[in-house]
Amino acid sequence: MASIIKRSSRGTTKYEAAIRRRGGVSVSKTFSSRREALAWAATIESEIARGVFVDRTSAERNTFGDLLERYQREISPYKKGGSLEILRIQRLLTDPLARIKVATLTGAHIAQYRDRRLAGDMKRKAVSGSTVNRELTLISHVLTIASKEWGVHVHVNPVSQIRRPRENRARTRRLGDDEEKRLLVELEPNREDVARGYGPGGCRGCRNEYMRPIVILAIETAMRRGEILSLRWDDVHLEDRYVRLHDTKNGEARDVPLSSRALQTLAELSAKHRHIGGRVFPVSVEALKQSFVRACERADIADLRFHDLRHEATSRIAERLDNPLELSAVTGHKTVQMLKRYYHPRASDLARKLG
């Protein structure tokens, strides 16, 4: 039998229902009336007797924000792209979704979150369907880990109950005729900025001397942002004209050949100074993103993302390496289908080949 304990404090009376059974089942809950306490106790005892009892204490006690904070401490740091995921979690922690108890979290709450992100508001701009889908995938995985490994009861993952927004169309953005030149001009050292104390690079407005060589390397090698930022001098082989990537997106190491321009860029950077930690580009993902956005704004270049440089590089390299196997060896794509998503030949270039 359950025990009902009456507790009074400062003129308020509460009733605690407690159930303790042999075999480790020990649960309790407090109610404002004795009738509610008895009804809850009867339900729990029936579930125990039928062998279907599930402890909901953790789900009732923890908010979704509590799960997010634990996930970013215990899971995200060990994932590829973990730093970006932590930024995504920090944004989620400011959303009303984070304040909802896990036990009461439903598909309707997730749908409201989806719609808020797609519509935007006064504080945050609207985001694309692809961005929302990545966030929904993260929310779903947090709840799955909590249910399987942390003992938090999630009867049905609410993300599985809603409609996902439509994915964006694949991007085909390439650099225009003079966009590369304008962008690199805005990343050149500026004496006036150096004089104002912006550091040895004196990068116009971005204060980051590594941005120009990073952009050149991206255009020349088709390396991903994370691959460029994780590059270490021990893996740069200037004499043999290649760099070795140990930690790539597909999990396999890759040797990336260096064009003459890429080789010169790394050689010049090596001759200046090397970071004490051994990284070629000691720059954070967020710093790179902000610097690139500002440089595009100053160069009056619209709708260009850093990842578009990988599309540009793949398309340029394809003009020199017409063998798909050789091309995929450079870019790291494992299938021809994925490679095709990054190859965007200009119609004018194809017309010239046709004669």
In the predicted structure, residue 34 carries a pLDDT above the cut 70: yes
Q: Same domain, yes or no, for 110 and 150?
A: yes
Q: Is residue 173 part of a domain?
A: no
Q: What is the CATH number of the domain that holds 155?
A: 1.10.150
Active site residue 173: no
Q: How many domains does the chain have?
A: 3
Domain boundary among 161, 189, 219: 161
Q: Is residue 167 part of a domain?
A: no
Across 111-120, 266-275, 322-331, least confident range:
266-275
CB burial of residue 187 (10 Å; 0-12, 13-18, 19+): buried
Please give the average per-residue pLDDT across 167-193, as a whole number: 83
Please give the average per-residue pLDDT across 2-21, as a whole number: 80
* Residue among 88, 224, 225, 311 flagged as catalytic: 224
Q: Same domain, yes or no, for 30 and 67?
A: no
CB 330 within 8 A of CB 317: yes
Q: pLDDT digits over 208-245, tens only?
A: 789 999 999 999 999 999 899 989 999 999 999 999 99
Q: At what angle do helices 285-298 and 82-92 cross, to 10 degrees?
A: 80
Q: Same domain, yes or no, for 209 and 95?
A: no
Between residues 339 and 66, which one has the greater pLDDT? Answer: 66
Active site residue 333: yes
Q: Same domain, yes or no, for 46 and 69?
A: no
Q: Same domain, yes or no, for 127 and 152?
A: yes
Q: Same domain, yes or no, for 105 and 25?
A: no
Q: Is residue 271 part of a domain?
A: yes
Q: pLDDT digits over 65-95, tens only?
A: 999 999 999 999 988 778 889 999 999 999 9
Q: Is residue 171 part of a domain?
A: no
The pLDDT value given to residue 354: 80
Q: Same domain, yes or no, for 28 and 67?
A: no
* Residue among 249, 274, 279, 316 flagged as catalytic: 249
The pLDDT value given to residue 202: 47
Q: What is the CATH number of the domain that holds 266?
A: 1.10.443.10
* Residue among 91, 181, 307, 346 flagged as catalytic: 307
Residues in the chain: 355
Active site residue 73: no
Q: pLDDT digits over 292-334, tens only?
A: 999 999 999 999 999 999 999 999 998 888 888 888 888 888 8
Domain boundary among 53, 71, 91: 53
Q: Is residue 170 part of a domain?
A: no
Residue 282, number of CB atoms within 10 A of its CB: 13
Active site residue 254: no
Sign of CA dihedral 251, 255, 260, 263: positive
Q: Is residue 168 part of a domain?
A: no
Q: Same domain, yes or no, for 223 and 322?
A: yes
Q: Is residue 118 part of a domain?
A: yes
Q: Same domain, yes or no, for 302 and 200?
A: yes
In the predicted structure, residue 35 carries a pLDDT above the cut 80: yes
Residue 56, number of CB atoms within 10 A of its CB: 17
Q: Same domain, yes or no, for 348 and 223?
A: yes
Please give the average per-residue pLDDT across 248-257, as a whole number: 85
Mean model confidence pLDDT for the chain: 85
Domain boundary among 161, 192, 225: 161
The pLDDT value given to residue 267: 92
* Residue among 114, 117, 212, 333 flagged as catalytic: 333
pTM score, two decimals?
0.67
* Residue among 71, 113, 342, 343 flagged as catalytic: 342
In which domain, by residue range, is 277 found? 179-354
Q: Is residue 166 part of a domain?
A: no
Q: Same domain, yes or no, for 67 and 151?
A: yes
In the predicted structure, residue 206 carries a pLDDT above the cut 70: no
Q: How confident is the model at residue 53 (pLDDT cuts 50, 70, 90)?
A: low
Q: Same domain, yes or no, for 273 and 293?
A: yes
